[in-house]
Amino acid sequence: MRLLPFKFSLIVAFVLVITFLTGGFLFLFSEGDDSYPRLIPDQTMAVFVGPKPLKEFVLIDQNSDTFDLSSLKGKWSFLFFGFTHCPDICPSTLVSLSKLREQITKGINGTKNVQFVFISVDPKRDTVITLKQYTNYFDPSIIGVTGTELELRNLTQQLDAKFEVESAPDKNSYQVYHTSAVFLINPQGQYTALLTPPFDISPISRRFTILKKIDAIKSLP
Amino acid sequence: MSFSSAQMNAAESKINVSHAWVKEAPPNAEALAGYMDLQNQTLQTQTLLRASSADFKSVMLHQTVTKGGMAHMNHTPLIEIKAGSTLQLTPGGYHLMLMNPKKPLRQGDQVQITLEFQSGLVFPVIFRVSKAPPK
């Protein structure tokens, strides 16, 4: 009888894997810069077969506290890169992330160990105060983060994310080009999945639940 | 949906503007985005050249283009609407980039933006400030 929970978890793992494979998910190789094999469920969430462990980075959060690799440990993290002078993509994405947070954290079975992080790649204009006001408007639980260009590049390169600051004559009015995707990091600090717009909340939420269960099974001693 | 005199005017000119809205932004935001549906009821392509408003420091025609997973917000010199078709300015695509609002804008507020077309048509449109697209 004492073996039952273990057997049960094996059965759950088996069922989950089958669900994953029959749910229209295909093994595909990405055409992007990285050569990871990906699981691509209809463009909603690309899940890496082997999550990529992240290396050390040092950023600062909206409360002027350090935000580094250890800030990602023990929690699922959804990371989004942008800037506050961004009128179109960033607000839409933050609204989507806020809805996603509501969906995956609600109820007694809701995920508690999850965080949503907005990382400004425009540290020149986005101070920690600006960031805090900005994220608070969309959802006070979203954490605003920024840092030096060097450290921002350190993290974006690990995720194959990109950003580019336009060189404009006007010091205060320039564009910042940035990756529009959202990056999912697992509680071990490993880059696990890539979400691309338009962010369709319900399927993302369902896939996240599956990922979480698989991760929990993998983490069993 | 209520029609302002400006929109009536637009309807008479055979460019019908609907769902005109400005996305509410955080109080300190310097850049906002305006969206609308432009229905071209004329027999020629209509080209939107400029937009202006006394409620903002500047208004620009912009388009968000995603290339290789990276969002570029490009200034676009014009927006063309083919004869008989409707062009939607929606999040993630074409939008009016509204810089530095003269006063804080909250949901329910209205702003007036004047649209200028190559054909010589010029008319003001009332945009409603809202958190989400109008139904």
A145 with A61: CB under 8 angstroms?
yes
The rounded distance, in Å, linking the Cα atoms of A217 and A117 is 26
Q: How many angstroms separate the CA of residue B1 from the nearest CA in chain A?
A: 24
- Structural domains present in chain A: 47-199 (3.40.30.10)
Top pLDDT among A45 and A36 is at: A45
Distance CA A41, CA A141 (A): 28
Instruction: Give tens-digit pLDDT for B75-94.
Output: 889 999 999 999 999 998 99
Asked if the bond preceding A198 is cis, omega within 30° of 0, the reply is: yes
Report CB contact under 8 Å: B69, A162. Answer: yes
Amino acid identity of A87? P
- At A33 the pLDDT is 42
Identify from A85, A88, A127 which residue to disrupt to test chain B contact, counting B C-beta atoms within 10 A and taking the largest count: A88
Distances (CA, A) of A212 to A54, A100, A112: 19, 15, 12
B4: pLDDT strictly greater than 50: no
Q: What's residue A49's pLDDT?
A: 78
Q: B29 and A92 in contact by Cβ < 8 A?
A: no
Q: Does B2 have pLDDT greater than 80?
A: no
* Cβ contacts of A130 on chain B, cutoff 8 Å: 28
Handedness of CA A90, A96, A97, A99 (dihedral sign): positive
Q: Which residues of B touch A198 (CB under 8 A)?
A: 92
Radius of gyration, CA atoms only, chain A: 18
Q: Which residues contact A171 (CB under 8 A, 6 or more apart)?
A: none
Res A220: pLDDT: 75
Identify all chain B residues contacting A92, using CB atoms and an 8 Å cutoff.
Answer: 91-92
Inter-chain Cβ pairs, chain A and chain B, closer than 8 A: 78
Averaged pLDDT, A211-221: 83
Q: HSE, CB side, 13 Å, CA atoms: give it for residue B25.
A: 25
- Angstroms from A82 CA to nearest CA on chain B: 10
Enumerate domains of chain B plus CATH numbers. Answer: 3-124 (2.60.40.1890)
Q: Please judge whether B26 and A136 are an interchain contact, meaning their C-beta atoms are less than 8 angstroms apart.
A: yes
For chain B, what is the mean pLDDT?
88
Who among B69, B70, B97 is closest to A87 (CB)? B97
Q: Tokens at residue B50, please?
A: 């400029």
> How do residues A61-116 score in pLDDT, each as one tens digit?
999 999 999 999 999 999 999 999 988 999 999 999 999 999 999 988 888 899 99
Contact status of A158 with chain B (Cβ, < 8 Å): no
Q: What pLDDT, on a 0 to 100 scale, did the predictor assign at position B123?
A: 94
Chain B residues lying within 8 Å of A196, measured CB to CB = 69
**Which position has the token pair 């759950």?**
A12
Q: Distance of CA A198 to CAs A95, A97, A115, A183, A195, Å? A: 12, 11, 20, 14, 9
Find the CB nearest B92 among A32, A164, A198.
Answer: A198
Q: What pLDDT is recorded for position B106?
A: 95
- Single-letter residue type at B7: Q
Q: What is the mean pLDDT of residues B18-41?
A: 93
How far is the alpha carbon of A2 from chain B, nearest alpha carbon, in Å?
49
Chain B residues within 8 A of A173 when measuring between CB atoms: 99
Q: Which of B30, B69, B91 sits opposite A179 (nearest CB)?
A: B69
Query: B72: nearest CA in chain A?
Result: A177
